[in-house]
Amino acid sequence: MAVNGVRIMGILNVTPDSFSDGGSFASFEAAVAQADRLIADGADILDVGGESTRPFAAEVSTEEELRRVIPVIEAVRRRHRLPISIDTTKAVVAEAALKAGADIINDISALRKDPAMLTVVRNTTVPVIIMHMQGTPADMQVRPVYTDVVREVSAFFAERLDWLAENGVARHRLILDPGIGFGKTLHHNLSLLKHLDDLSALGVPVLVGHSRKRFLGEIAAIPAEAERDLATAVASALCAAKKIAIIRVHNVAATRQALLVAEAIGNAA
């Protein structure tokens, strides 16, 4: 159940090499058990991904990505009714995932990588998450450069929104993800989080995916990714005050607690 209007998206990486939890839920049984755990902890949405997008990650084949995600989506849909998001840049995977029971397309390339993704999106009415990324996972963190990161990310989304509208995708279906950690330095990430209001001004819901990211480790001197849940929860509470729509995290319980406390303080007399 959303807290103060913010929905929590639980991350389920069905991969052997994802950032933070790669390999932990690569097997079918482990993935389904983790889905159950995230949902019991209060996830409003489950985001299933079968290809790592960590810095310098290599691509996987369509066949392998399908093998990883489709059985898990089918199993979760049989067991639960909450919305399921498919995290993919491949049209074939997105289409198969929707048929298997997914409800949302989460494309970190903002429909720029696979030309066929536009057709899949136009043939459905599901929500679509589009993300900003400078470069690709293979090179995005080599040397990200911006003159004004907030202005440039906002301009990117304005262009994407116009392009999608021109190509028959209704604006009300779209959700914007500024791509924290995707082609950004520590200072770029902090500036985007501070100025989330600028993205919300575009009139489209905003999703923030900062969970366990490297910039949190840099700030708090926490090298181990799995130990950054407290830092993630603090940032989640601060982001929620910006009236964003969705927070995407690994540890749903910790972020839910942070949001509940922030909500209670905000509603106090």
Q: pLDDT tens digits for 93-129?
A: 999 999 999 999 999 999 999 999 999 999 999 999 9
As a dihedral over the C-alpha atoms of residue 84, residue 90, residue 91, residue 92, rounded to 10 degrees, the angle is -90
Compute the distance between CA of residue 88 and CA of residue 108 in angstroms, rounded to an integer.
7
Least confident piece of the model among 8-12, 22-26, 58-62, 162-166? 22-26
pLDDT of residue 253: 98
Considering only CA atoms, which of 102, 224, 121, 222 is closest in space to residue 167? 121
Q: Residue 213 pLDDT > 80, yes or no?
A: yes
Q: Residue 17 pLDDT > 80, yes or no?
A: no
User: What is the DSSP annotation of 91-159?
Assistant: HHHHHHHHHHT--EEEETTTT-S-TTHHHHHHT----EEEE--SS-TTTTTS----SSHHHHHHHHHHH
Compute the distance between CA of residue 128 and CA of residue 83 in angstroms, rounded to an integer.
13
Confidence of residue 247 (pLDDT cuts 50, 70, 90): very high
Contacts of 203 (CB under 8 A, 6+ apart): 171
Catalytic positions are: 213, 248
Confidence of residue 243 (pLDDT cuts 50, 70, 90): confident
* DSSP state at residue 202: T
pLDDT of residue 140: 58
Secondary structure element (H or E) that encloses residue 177, with its range: strand 174-177
Task: Show the CA angle centred on residue 259, arms to residues 53 and 78, nearest 5°.
Answer: 60
Number of Cβ within a 10 Å radius of residue 219: 14
Tell me: the pLDDT tens digits for 163-211? Answer: 999 999 999 999 999 999 999 999 999 999 999 999 999 999 999 999 9
Tell me: the pLDDT tens digits for 142-153? Answer: 678 899 999 999
Confidence of residue 20 (pLDDT cuts 50, 70, 90): low
